[in-house]
Structure 1
Amino acid sequence: MDFSDKIFEYVYRYRNKEDIIAVILVGSSSQMAQKPEIVPGDIDLFVITSSGKFQERKIVKSEGLEIDINYFPLEVAKDLIESEKMFIVHELANRAFVISQSENAADSLIDMAKKKYEKGPMPLPEELVALEMNQLKGLIEGNSKEADPVQNRFSRIIIFERLIKAYFTVNAIWLPKEKRILKELKKINPRLYTKSSEFLECFELSKLEDIYCEVFGKRPIVQEISLVYSE
């Protein structure tokens, strides 16, 4: 049984063949399509279906492989791309290899994702930027009063993670997967990456304050924030 046969064996296990309109290899496993000498440790698939209302995920372990299958009804996939869900936009725009499709279903989704990815995410409203600034400023100030050294360091790690994520959202940059955040940060903002490295070496509060200033720049702290929530 070759590689593609194995994929379809599992894809058809959970859906009728007639309901499947596209099978797309994504993630690092998509490199196998161009480099057959690579031995996969896992396989990630987006399977597009003609019916259904919800995304469904199946994870199977077999013969040393982990096969991760996401089934998306076509309209659900379109809605996820339109609403800027990073996991599907990034994978389809950058790491997709079409194994099979009918009526150009996969190509149309990939084209849609590439346009969305190139355009970038919607900028965060200034009210939410102000809210994030105020909350993080408060967390940093509160941390200076924390007496428990274990809780103190744990809180600083949480604040650091939130600050780095804020850098991406505040600047309308696609937020990578957590395991790739620092790699992406090193590419796009070496200065902030260096400050992050320095903090992770010592966990000093002053380094965290430097990162805060780098993320938010010269934006002033807003004393009054108005937010409207829709149903």
Structure 2
Amino acid sequence: MSVLAMHAVSRDHGAGAALVHALREVTLSVAAGEFVAVMGPSGSGKSTLLTLAGGLDTPTSGQILVEDADLGSLGAAGRSALRRRSIGYVFQDLNLIPSLTAAENVMLPRELDGARVRQARREAAHALQEVGVGELADRYPDEMSGGQQQRVAIARALVGERRLVLADEPTGALDSQTGEDVMRVLRARCDAGAACLMVTHESRHAAWADRVVFLRDGLVIDATAPRTGPEALLQEAP
């Protein structure tokens, strides 16, 4: 069953001479338990694809379904509720709240969705432990390294029963070993039944995915499954 289904989705910015086709007639689905990586050059539409899939923006045309809910028909409040309940999002710029501790940052989406504080705190502790920073629960973002903040942001995206995980360069601030550890966590979450859509420029990280989609100029130009790792991906990329 598709957790995410995008049908002929386009997103335009500006008008007239300034018109930019950020995404053009993209059709893409991600099933429960499937890990899909998105690759492409800068400006190809990768981040636009994620913001649309997460209901953070609306398409110019086309339809986006998350667990059969049509994002276009939900309205802003409905999309917000769906994000809190079902979608985990790892932002490229992290978006941690400076005045909250690591645990409080991770707890926040669960509390906003009505979870009791004790339950939200327990789930946050588990998510932080899952990404290897359980000891940082009481620290504030400015007391952490960039890599530690990245892992807290990933824990926030994974907390609770997230059916769809969207990750925009989730290993960008991490060293190679920590990056591999994060990929292992994302892969495990998919194997447990979540759908994951990840933007990356690292072929070795895309090799963890079941399928790799290549974007260029807002168009899907190819889709392939990793075979034997990064070398195969480099050979297959257009």
Q: TM-score w.r.t. structure 1 length? A: 0.25
Higher relative contact order (CA 8 A, sep 6+): 2
For the pair shown, the structure with the greater C-alpha radius of gyration is 1
